[in-house]
Amino acid sequence: MTLAPYEQLPDHDRPPDAEPVPRVRRARTTPPWWFALPALLLFAFVVLVPSVRGVYYAFTDWDGLDPHFSFVGLDNFSDMLSDPDAQQAIWHTLLIAVSITVVQNALGLLLALGVNTAIKSRNVLRVFLFAPAVITPIVTAYLWRNLLGPDGAVNSLLGAVGLDGWRQDWLGSPQLALWAVVGVIVWQFAGYSMVIFLAGLQSVPKEVHEAAAIDGAGAVRRFWSVTRPLLAPALTINLMLSIIGGIKLFDQVYALTGGGPGHATDTISTLIYKDAFTLGEFGYSIALAVVLTIIVAVVSTGQYVVLSRNERAAS
């Protein structure tokens, strides 16, 4: 039905004797909130309740088996401040996380720039470079533990090419073991960072590069002034993933070195496992887990705030 001309006018411009225009009810498009209730209940049962109980146990002397335990207040956290193993594990955790974040993203960016060119083998290279990222981390760790052993393939190769002086006990040396772990992590996940950077590079309009080239900008200048600002979202994602993954790292460290030699490669995660399942100090290990959660939350939130500001400034 076609409306009369005056019916198309606003209410204050319509004649006083005109019939009121019927209001059309809009269909409700948002589903009832209780649709999400089963998922919320499951999430609360699986995540929230265990987390709250875990925080409570951090203030007790629970051994993980005895149903009777005592509330000890902040004793577990104060013991942590005087525990050299815990302090060393926190330092190792931060050192590994920062090293992985810097090296992995720098290498991933270089690889992305390389495979984003017009070389014929770029598709094959992308597959091979990304392939380690799809392997289970524990499998990768056991593979590299054999390769880096005293009689492993790495030392055998160095001896075969006449570099016997470079042969090392890569995982048994307190000075080298931590960096060997970092190298294994970077080897596995540099391709993962490469894919994210590659997606960012392919979203940069070619016209922008062509305009910069016409203006006389060289390759380095085009990357720094044109490509780098437009890669800010990809950089944010990569930095967040690598720093959080580095802080929570457990599988590879435990499979490669078990936290050794001594405590040379212990992280907060490996120390939590040892204190809980080897020493039976569940209350203390849960206190370490609470500290790890706080570190992840503070670092990731601070990093996100800084990177978000840089993204807005770049755009």
Q: Bridge-partner residues for 60, per DSSP? A: 71
In whole angstroms, give the CA distance from residue 110 to residue 115.
9
* Domains in the chain: ranges and CATH: 92-314 (1.10.3720.10)
pLDDT score of 227: 84
For position 44, what pLDDT does the model report?
92
In terms of Cα–Cα distance, which of 186, 195, 207 is closest to 234?
195
pLDDT tens for the chain, 315 residues long, are 454 454 444 555 555 555 555 665 665 666 677 888 889 999 999 989 988 988 999 999 988 888 888 999 899 999 998 999 999 999 999 999 999 999 999 999 999 999 988 888 888 999 999 999 999 999 999 999 999 988 889 999 999 998 888 999 999 999 999 999 999 999 999 999 999 999 999 888 888 878 888 888 888 888 888 888 888 889 989 999 999 999 999 999 999 999 988 889 999 999 999 999 888 899 999 999 999 999 998 988 888 888 788 767 766
Other C-beta atoms closer than 10 Å to the C-beta of 209 total 16
Give me the residue label for tokens 């104060």: 78
> Given the structure tokens 């209940």, which residue do they identify?
41
Phi, then psi, of 71 in degrees rounded to 5: -85, 120
The runs of H, that is alpha helices, within the chain are: 37-43, 49-57, 75-82, 84-115, 122-130, 137-147, 153-160, 177-202, 206-214, 219-222, 228-230, 232-247, 251-256, 268-277, 282-314
Placement of tokens 């597959």 in the chain: 127
